[in-house]
Structure 1
Amino acid sequence: MTSHPASFCPDCGTETESTHFDGRDRKLCPACERIVWHNPIPTAGVAVVGDEGVLLGQRDVEPGIGEWGVPGGHMEVDETPEEAAARELEEETGVSVDPDELALLETFTSGPFAGKYVVSIGFAVRAEATTGTPEALNEVQAVGWFTPRSFAASDAVLHEDHAQRLRLAWERFG
Structure 2
Amino acid sequence: MSYTVETATVSYCPSCGASLNARKTHEGERPYCPDCDLTLYRNPVPMARATVVDRDAALLIEMGEGRDEGAWALPGGHCLHDEPPRATAARELAEETGLAVDPSDLTLIGDGHLSFPDGAPMVSFNYAAATADATGTVAAADDAADARFWTRTEIEESPPLLRASGTKQVLDAIARFRTDG
- TM-score using structure 1 length: 0.88
Q: How far 1:25 sits from its partner (Å)?
A: 3.9
CA contact (8 A) 2:124 2:164 kept: no
How far apart, in 1, do the equivalents of 2:84 and 2:38 lie?
Answer: 30
How far apart, in 2, do the equivalents of 1:149 and 1:105 lie?
Answer: 19
C-alpha deviations, 1:136-169, integer Å up to 9, x for none?
1011111111134313434x74212322332221
How far apart, in 1, do the equivalents of 2:93 and 2:140 lie?
Answer: 11
Instruction: Give the count of matched residue pairs.
Output: 173
How far apart, in 1, do the equivalents of 2:174 and 2:31 lie?
Answer: 42
User: What residue in structure 2 maps to residue 127 of structure 1?
Assistant: 131
C-alpha deviations, 1:82-135, integer Å up to 9, x for none?
211111000000101111111111111112353321111111100111011111
Name stretches of at least 5 consecutive residues in structure 2 with no aligned partner: none
Structure-to-structure mapping, 1:22-171, within 5 angstroms: 22-112=26-116, 114-154=118-158, 157-162=160-165, 163-171=167-175
Quickly say closer, same or farther: Cα 1:76–1:161, change in 2 above 3 A: closer
How far apart, in 2, do the equivalents of 1:65 and 1:44 lie?
Answer: 18
Quickly say closer, same or farther: Cα 1:46–1:15, change in 2 above 3 A: same
Let me know the Cα RMSD of the aligned residues.
Answer: 2.0
- TM-score using structure 2 length: 0.85
Please tell me whether residue 10 in structure 1 is matched to residue 14 in structure 2: yes
CA contact (8 A) 1:76 1:84 kept: yes
Structure 1, 25-34 or 109-118: larger mean CA deviation: 25-34
How far apart, in 2, do the equivalents of 1:157 and 1:46 lie?
Answer: 15
User: Match of 2:164, as an amino acid?
Assistant: D
Identity among equivalent pairs (%)? 31
SS in 2 for 1:109: strand
How far apart, in 1, do the equivalents of 2:57 and 2:160 lie?
Answer: 17
Name stretches of at least 5 consecutive residues in structure 1 with no aligned partner: none
CA contact (8 A) 2:97 2:141 kept: yes
CA contact (8 A) 1:16 1:28 kept: yes
Quickly say closer, same or farther: Cα 1:126–1:63, change in 2 above 3 A: same
CA contact (8 A) 2:114 2:121 kept: yes
